[in-house]
Amino acid sequence: MKRVLTQLAQDFRAYKMRFFFVVFGVAWGTIAIVLNMAFGVGVMVQIEKGLKGLGEHIGILWPGQTSVPYKGLGIGRRVRFVPEDAELLKERIDIIEKASPEYIHWNQPIKYGEVLRNAKVCGVNPSYGEMRSIEAENGRFVNKLDVEKRRRVIFLGDEEKDKIFGPEEAVGKRVLLNGIPFTVIGVMKKKIQNNCYSGNDKNAVFIPYSTFKTMYGWLYINNMVYQPVSADVSKEAQEEISKVLGEKYKFDPEDKEALGTWDVAEQEKMQHKIGKGIEIFLSIVGAMTLLIAGAAIANIMYFIVDERTREVGIRRSVGATKFNILRQFLLESLLLSAIGGALGLFFSFSIVWFCSLIPEAGIFEFIGKPTMSYEIPIITVFVLLVISVISGYFPARKAANLKPVECLRYE
């Protein structure tokens, strides 16, 4: 190894510019593959965050109209849900872990002092917040006692809080919702939400569904939100829901128009595949850049072999084997790649670290920031090793196969 390092140092002094461009090419290729993979991981992370902002493997259920006759009943009958249907699903279907009714009333006036806002009001139960990934930055969400006692309490989306209260603390204050006093019990923690079905949560306010029903006198709810025990049983849960509600409301469980369902679990799987595809594509682009650097390594090594032809002849004539020559040139190629790769990894980690300090806003909120996973350096080193061995092997084999007599006569 000492001999290889000495020889490499001599070659570097003799061909500084050539070595500089080769090392730069390897470093650039390494940066390209690492950052492409890191951006791919960042996109994946952001997609998952956006999906979890809506809720993790949940389902949203809307009432529809019957489209096929059932037990003598005609088509076109409206299906309507009542709040108790959420409990019915939990009681009758073992694989349903949580369920909540949801009332939605748009453009309801909320007044605080001189500030007057129109906001979306949602009437829900406590499990709604857990399913929809709604966490409290301050205070708390609606609880069981709020529902049982029909309390006039309100939970604010973070953006709605800012528009009503500004920098002022909101929890504990009273607002007038449609002229009725409500106490603010909590403010939502900011979250990334790339999907929604009735507007973004940051622009909504939430009250107990029992209070909503009493206040507005609505018998029927707008929709239900449910969560199976796992994403793997989401399809089975939909089938069971159709059976249970079909039995209650007298429609065919196979009627696709009677219920409208958004299966977020299925979307999660599809988005995960899309994210993986982006990650793989970006990795291939980076690997192609590194492959070009490999061609530069092969080029410089062929040049070095030509320059050291007489040296190879002398070494072969005093007893060096083909394997000795092959090993030396191959090790020089690997060392050259290792220097460029180490520099590339250093700069890549530095760039990713710097990006981690940038606030998650603007474009980063949608595409995410480059994120380093433990697989990235492992994959990069493996790809770099393969390309380096291939790039160095053929020049090294050429040197090992040179005939000593021809080498000594080489000018």
Residue 245 and residue 79 in contact, taking contact as beta carbons nearer than 8 Å? yes
**Contact partners, residue 196, CB within 8 Å, separation at least 6:** 54
* Residue position matching structure tokens 């800012």: 162
* Residue position matching structure tokens 């993986």: 276
- Which whole-number Å values give the CA distances from 367 to 38, 125, 350, 362, 379, in the listed order? 12, 33, 20, 9, 23
* Residue position matching structure tokens 């080029």: 299
**Contact partners, residue 193, CB within 8 Å, separation at least 6:** 50, 53, 54, 200, 201, 202
* Residue position matching structure tokens 């009273």: 174
Rounded to 5°, the CA angle 47-53-59 comes to: 100
Dist CA 364 CA 366 (whole Å): 5
- Alpha-helical (H) ranges within 217-263 are 234-249
**Contact partners, residue 184, CB within 8 Å, separation at least 6:** 139, 153, 154, 155, 156, 170, 171, 172, 173, 174, 175
Q: Report the mean per-residue pLDDT for the chain.
A: 82
**In a 3-state reduction of DSSP, which class is residue 208?**
strand
Dist CA 284 CA 295 (whole Å): 17
Residue 297 and residue 392 in contact, taking contact as beta carbons nearer than 8 Å? yes
* Position 67, amino acid: S
What averages of pLDDT result for each successive group of 10 residues across the chain (411 residues)?
A: 54 58 78 82 74 83 90 86 94 93 95 92 95 92 95 95 93 94 95 80 95 94 93 89 92 90 78 73 74 70 65 63 69 77 88 79 67 80 80 70 57 50
What's the pLDDT at 410?
46
Dist CA 222 CA 81 (whole Å): 8
Dist CA 313 CA 300 (whole Å): 20
Residue of 219, 198, 202, 223 whose CA lies nearest to 210:
219
What's the pLDDT at 109?
95
The number of angstroms, rounded, from the C-alpha of 263 to the middle of its chain's C-alpha atoms is 19
- 51-82 pLDDT, tens per residue? 777 888 899 999 999 988 888 888 888 999 99
Copy the structure tokens of residue 263: 């299966």
